[in-house]
Amino acid sequence: MSAEGEEKLWETKKYDEVRIYKDEEIWNYTDEELANYKCKHDTPLLDQLEEGPWPSFVSDIKQEALHRHKLPEDKLLIPADVCDDLLGQVELSYVEKETHWKHGGIVGVFGYGGGVIGRYSDQQEKFPGVAHFHTLRVNQPASKFYKTDYLRALCDIWEYRGSGLTNMHGSTGDTVLLGTFTEQLEPVFFDLTHDLGVDLGGSGSNLRTPSCCVGKARCEFACYDTQDICYELTMHYQDELHRPAFPYKFKFKFDGCPNCCVASIARSDMSYIGTWKDDIRIDQEAVRAYVAGELKPNAGAFGGRDWGKFDIQKEVIDLCPAGCMEWDGKELKVNNKECVRCMHCINVMPRALRIGTDTGCSILFGAKAPILEGAQMSMLTIPFIRVEKPYDAIKDIVDKVWDWWMEEGKNRERVGELIQRKGVQEFVTKVLGIPAIPQMAKEPRSNPYVFWSEDEVPGGWQRDINEFRKRHPR
């Protein structure tokens, strides 16, 4: 899958050519056999999880366990009962309330510092099938577009060389292949790269696999081409993705608009959120059609229940967080200067309201889950930047932030924590060299991060105390 104009190092095969199993081997058990399937270990606690209203991972793993037992032995390179032993070990952990996975290791594929997460059982005699249970992260295609023949080929490789269990997808975005033995890592990597034309993703202290929303491929709200920049930055920063030298992990996520379908604002150190500078486009006729009930609000997404007649005042105007909309019964007015691009009105009336035409993205920094410090969301830092090929202005920002973080960051300190420790002022004015704006401060008194520096103040920090006392006696 090399891009146009790039030299191909080898010819990627057709997915059909790398299939390992025949159709009858894939569909090799009946519903009855599944219902009667008896796992190698007793798992009463796990079995309870299957009784709830939701699909259970326990049922999924049992299904795969049965499937593997019915495959010919010469078509499995790791133990057939890996899934049974997995259930057995998890059951034991539920009983003892302690994990039996050993954390970390030196396993990986040659030259890569990421993409493989080493895990071993500390109960290898009881559960030999999961003695090794390494995970591989596979870089997903932009927006997770797949063809079924690719997925079949991928699943075959993993059935053959791994547990057959996958996670589509991990929260980083990757296709996650769960559980294999050390000696299978290089062969899986070879098959993925040579036969399927995909690479491993990131793990450890490096750039994690960038991910993006569906964007312009399907969504009219997309303010920029999320897929293109996601792919471009993935390729541009290959060294950072595969060879860890950061203080800790770093994530990019690309959302085409503030609906934030990949939750970039909560899950990425550097969140790119589409926005626009000009006005929301309004089709007044269509607004009136919504009010008259001719068009369904939210494109019918809440149609499952009777919510009563659509009330534009209650459901749109009063819910606008900026309070910047007005409806006089005939015409909808938006004070675009105050609009915070929350998307609410556009989501409710997509036929009547559209994003502006002068588009780009906002860049926010610092979201993370709790590790050293508590969880935090990204902070709006660059309100507007154009997102245009070859994205040089954006790459400049990335490089500046990484240089600062690699220089100043402590081991295992995320960039968001470094910004907290050093202050937003240093980050914004010194690292990025952009002016701070009042909106960056939540409350001037509790978050007083805009300080004067000495050269900005007449006379600097020095004062003549005698002169001062002449004017202000004790």
Residues that bind other proteins (CB under 8 A): 102-108, 110-111, 113-114, 116-120, 122, 124, 131-132, 135, 182, 203-206, 239, 243-249, 371, 406-407, 409-412
How far from the centroid of its chain's Cα atoms is residue 323's Cα?
Answer: 31
Tokens found for residue 76:
């499995």
Figure out which of the listed residues 303, 323, 390, 444 binds ligand HEM, where binding follows CB under 6 A.
444
Report the residue number, 202 or 215, with the smaller CB distance to other proteins: 202
Report the residue number, 98 or 443, with the smaller CB distance to ligand HEM: 443
Report the residue number, 108 or 258, with the smaller CB distance to other proteins: 108
> Please, what is the minimum distance in Å from the beta carbon of residue 443 to ligand HEM?
5
Q: Does 78 bind ligand SF4 (CB under 6 A)?
A: no
Report the residue number, 389 or 445, with the smaller CB distance to ligand HEM: 445
Continuous segment of H or E residues that includes residue 418 = helix 415-422
Q: What angle do CA 197, 150, 7 make, to 5 degrees?
A: 20
The answer to whether the CB of 138 falls within 8 A of the CB of 185 is no
Task: Considering only residues 171 through 230, tell me which ones interact with ligand HEM, judged by CB under 6 A.
Answer: none
Instruction: Quote the DSSP letter at residue 409.
Output: P
Continuous segment of H or E residues that includes residue 469 = helix 465-471
Contact flags string 390-429 toward ligand HEM, x per CB under 6 A: ----------------------------------------
Figure out which of the listed residues 154, 192, 320, 349 binds ligand SF4, where binding follows CB under 6 A.
320
DSSP 161-195: HS-SEEEE--TTS-EEEE---GGGHHHHHHIIIII
Stretch that binds ligand HEM, among 197-205, 293-301, 346-354, 443-451 (CB under 6 A): 443-451
Figure out which of the listed residues 51, 328, 443, 464 binds ligand HEM, where binding follows CB under 6 A.
443
C-alpha distance from residue 287 to each of 14, 284, 316 (Å): 50, 5, 11
Please, which residues bridge with residue 255 across strands? 273
Q: Which residue has the tokens 């790459």?
A: 395
Q: Does 261 bind ligand SF4 (CB under 6 A)?
A: yes
Determine the Cα–Cα distance for residues 380 and 366; give it in Å rounded to an integer.
9
The answer to whether the CB of 138 falls within 8 A of the CB of 95 is no
Contact flags string 82-111 toward ligand HEM, x per CB under 6 A: ------------------------------
Q: What angle do CA 459, 464, 468 make, to 5 degrees?
A: 105
Q: What residues contact 268, with CB distance under 8 A and at least 6 apart?
A: 251, 252, 253, 367, 378
260 binds, among other proteins, ligand SF4, ligand HEM, none (CB under 5 to 8 A by kind): ligand SF4
Report the residue number, 124 or 347, with the smaller CB distance to other proteins: 124
The binding site for ligand SF4 (CB under 6 A) comprises 213-215, 219, 221-222, 255-257, 259-261, 274, 320-322, 324-325, 334, 339-345
The binding site for ligand HEM (CB under 6 A) comprises 443-445
